[in-house]
Amino acid sequence: MYETSRDALRERALVLDAADRLADKRKLFALDEGVYLDGNSLGALPLHVPARVQDVLTRQWGELRIRSWDESGWWTAPERIGDRIAPLVGAAAGQIVVSDSTSVNVFKAVVAAGRLAGEGRDEILVDATTFPTDGYIAASAARLTGHRIVPLAPADVPAALGPRTAAVLLNHVDYRAGRLHDLPGLTAAVHAAGAVAVWDLCHSAGALPVGLDEHRVDLAVGCTYKYLNGGPGSPAYLYVAERHQAAFDSPLPGWNSHAEPFAMTPEYTPAEGSVRGRVGTPDIVSMLALEAALDVWDGVAVEDVRAKSLALTDFFLECVEAYAPAGRVTSLTPVAHAERGSQVALRCAGAEPVMRRLIERGVVGDLRRTDVLRFGFTPLYTGFADAERAAAVLAEVLAGTPAA
């Protein structure tokens, strides 16, 4: 029965891969014969990036040296690359600056949001299920600004909003379970209460449409090393809606965000536009590696990425249900497409040894202790045959691994 079922699902995988309009993108990445399902932690390397980085090192830095700030466009890289990310998150040009880490940008955004909200609002609502660093940063920002942190589940945000709410910090996709939160609805509720909406897009940018401008998000942050494939430690980005840029008051004013950075005046005068999100000297090598990596998005519609993501995760869950020993894994990932990101999270007793054996067998995912297996599906390079193979190997590993 198992073999019959597997033969049918393998055949379907081949048919689906043959019809995949994004299939040609896979050849742009450095991948081996294994199944890589950890792009929600670190995206695969686009093959052309090393040569571009080599040019940055040998020609731009090695030969041109200081001249590259002008001649190689180093100085304008944060805004230029921000404009390349903008279409992937539904933003017009001039609203995203690439700089610093996600954590630093969360701090900028939360403090600035509190300042935008004005007097009399002393509460910052924070997603209690968020990636821990967001909570740590928000709590520190609140201590510094005299706000009170209110942690709660995203679904409970509308009922908690009120005249004391200054800002709300939410994750678009839950990093653990892969649940997609209602960005349009929650943003509208935050605005109805007179507060400022701040979104963390780390697990959604490059995996699904975001619609920052369409849904009137105020501020947003995100990393670039997951679905955007920018490389380990690649710089993050900060979105400041155009309507807020004149009032955006960064808590980290630096010479790079000064209206006249080379005037070296003791008084700080902020630059216009998204440049206000800059702080210090940009990390040029990793930033230009990211710029090169974004080439793989040329000609790609985010809507096609989303359609394939949902089809892949549906198919993987179907295969897991067909193959896995009864009762060994339970999906934490929502069934409803409107509530799902681009990963599948499976609750599994003994998750750590199971994932270790999966990786030994060439199926690379990751885990969240103590009992969650995570599998990230990156539509630019993950295929349906990958999903079927991963589910089959998982079933074999589970059959040979005692439940903890």
Catalytic residue list: 131, 200, 225-226, 374
SS (H, E, C) 15-51: HHHHCCCCHHHHHHECCCCCEECECCCCCCCECCHHH
Closest to 218 in 3D by CA, of 91, 118, 88, 103: 91
Return d(Cα 126, Cα 154) in angstroms, integer.
8
Nearest to 72 by CA among 62, 82, 64: 64
Q: What's at 133, amino acid-wise? A: T
Q: Report the distance separating Cα 317 and Cα 336, nearest Å.
A: 13
CB 362 within 8 A of CB 393: yes
- Cα separation, 130 vs 265, whole angstroms: 40
Cβ-proximal residues to 264 (8 Å cutoff; 6+ apart), any chain:
255
CA distance 247 to 161: 23
Q: Helix 384-400 vs helix 302-323: angle between axes, to the nearest 10 degrees?
A: 30
